[in-house]
Chains A and B, each alone.
Chain A
Amino acid sequence: MIMKLDTEQRDRLLSIGFPVLLLLIWEFVVRVGWLDARFFPAPSSVLVALWDMTVDGDLLGKLWLLPGLIGQGDWGGVQQVIAQGNLWVSLFRIFAGFLLGAIPGIVLGVLMGMSRSVRVAIDPVMSALYVLPKIAILPLIMLIFGIGETSKIVTVGISSFFLVLINTTVGVRDIDPIFFEAANNYGANRWQMFWHVIIPGALPVIFAGLRLSLGTALIVIIAAEFVAAQYGLGYLIWFSWQMLEIENMFAGLVVIMLLGALFTGGLQALEHRLMPWDREERAGPANIPGVEAAT
């Protein structure tokens, strides 16, 4: 019997079903011994490891201490508990660095998009700096900011900065000049031009930059934590590998993947809220007759 599914249901079934199928195959292959469970633990044992890490406080900190500490008004203790949760530590570094990089990136990007002189002056410098792997300058940053939190946040900030900067510049330059002319003709001053034309006009491309840079922030912080941290997801993975707790290592990887998916989803939701005008359905190859209707 063939079940009739509408497009949405079919999409959902595929997007959930296929990964589940892959995991089942993995589980099977390990169980029957075709894959070495010491190096490629089965998904079920990774899940168990993830659970263990959560309940013993490795991942989220010893959260069960919180109600007591809050009751006593021991805020220093609360902070300490959070600071021992590897996930929170990484998240803090990612978002602090992301903001540190994205805000100046947008500001300078708008300036570069608007002013030819600024662009001509800054472009070569930015192009040269952009290609530097940011993790390669971590030692330099630690030299300047010490080995504490600041240096990690700055590293993330620098890598976010360039991606947001480049996208913002392109976004502003791609605004059709007619919109500037129209705004100008209706008497917009500089500030009004900024809020009513430049920002909304460049927003779709700025968002593409934000999405890239949030992903990169995740990559960079994990790498930085590999080499120079006592806490954080990267540290957790590296430590697990050195202790040969391979399940824990995989559990760490799983958490990172979940974060990546969450970030993308979160930004997309924000995009939807901030740009209600940008919901034009673009025709993909699937919309062209003759190509299998895969929508």
Chain B
Amino acid sequence: MTAKIKAVGVTKAFSSGDRTVTALHDFNLEVQEGEFVCIVGPSGCGKSTFLRILGGLATPTSGQVTLVPGKNGAPLQNIVFQEYAIFPWKTVLDNVAFGLEMRGIGKAERYATASEWLRKVGLSKFADAYPHQLSGGMKQRVSIARAFANDPEILLMDEPLGALDAQTRAVLQEELLRIWEASRKTVVYITHSIEEALLLGDRVVLMTAHPGTFKCEFAVPFKRPRTFELTGTAEFSRLNYAIWKELQGEVLRAMEQQL
């Protein structure tokens, strides 16, 4: 196993006027190649900020982030955004093919790849539709397919299912499991749902309340392939509760800060 992502002492401070707010403080994380790591923390703990730093959309105030590129010339990382961020002016097919198009891959080839991914997420019938014709769950499927179709070495997911209702969410979690278990990419997955983290991840990293930093981590012992059935087992509930006990204090602290 080799480390694919190394983050050492990552700190991010935002300053407005003469006030400085530290969003992320001295955060360390190492992710192995092919590992699915979920980061869980209370609202405002800087977990999304960390993901944006990994994705190159923000720079850390101090500390170092290294994404180790492989040899095959594939894109290093792609983000699946919480707000989908699929382009309203492109058809579903063109949205999924977007990364390939940016890399200069010809029309026939990129459409073939994109169609294949649309099939995998069950949206083949909507290839020529525009996003405004889709439901939230379908939009997020497009967004996930766009990332997988581009075939990056690392997938960065920022609460991708956070905006969906519980039922749609459960369906998409299973889909994500199925797709990921077939490809085994390195994933950093931000969520505020412990259940989701346990269902999807190999490891769950907890963050403290603001300013966010590493609190503790749990290895997830469940065998793959997993299905939603797992959430009904006693072991799942036990771990779920154990993590909640750790997180509870941080959540309360985060709520007090907001008052």
Residues of A within 8 A of B (CB): 178-179, 181-189, 192, 196-197, 200-201, 203, 275-278, 280
Determine if B75 is an interface residue (Cβ-Cβ < 8 Å): yes
A147 CB, nearest partner CB in chain B, Å: 45
Determine if B79 is an interface residue (Cβ-Cβ < 8 Å): yes
Which 5 pairs, one residue from A and one from B, show the smallest C-beta to C-beta distance? A200-B89, A182-B85, A277-B130, A186-B99, A178-B85
Q: Of B55, B83, B132, B150, which is within 8 A of A277 by CB?
A: B132
In the complex, 28 of the A-B residue pairs with CB atoms within 8 angstroms, ordered by the A residue number, are A178-B81, A181-B79, A182-B79, A183-B102, A185-B79, A186-B75, A186-B78, A186-B98, A186-B150, A187-B75, A187-B99, A187-B102, A188-B102, A189-B102, A196-B87, A196-B90, A196-B101, A200-B90, A201-B89, A203-B89, A276-B130, A277-B88, A277-B89, A277-B90, A277-B131, A277-B132, A278-B89, A280-B132
Residue of B nearest to A185 (CB): B79
For the complex, give the distance between the alpha carbons of A200 and B89 in Å.
6
User: Which residue among A179, A184, A185 has the maximum number of chain B CB atoms within 10 Å of its CB?
Assistant: A185
For the complex, give the distance between the alpha carbons of A229 and B105 in Å.
56
Determine if B57 is an interface residue (Cβ-Cβ < 8 Å): yes
Contact code string B67-98 (vs A, CB < 8 Å = 1, else 0): 00000000101110101011111100000001
Contact code string B26-38 (vs A, CB < 8 Å = 1, else 0): 0000000000000
Determine if B184 is an interface residue (Cβ-Cβ < 8 Å): no
Take A179-B85, A182-B81 as given contacts and tell me if A187 and B57 are in contact as well, using a CB distance cutoff of 8 Å.
no
Q: Identify 16 new A-B residue pairs, CB closer than 8 A, beyond the known A185-B55, A185-B78.
A: A181-B85, A182-B87, A183-B98, A184-B57, A185-B57, A185-B79, A186-B150, A188-B102, A196-B87, A196-B98, A200-B87, A200-B90, A203-B89, A275-B89, A277-B90, A278-B89
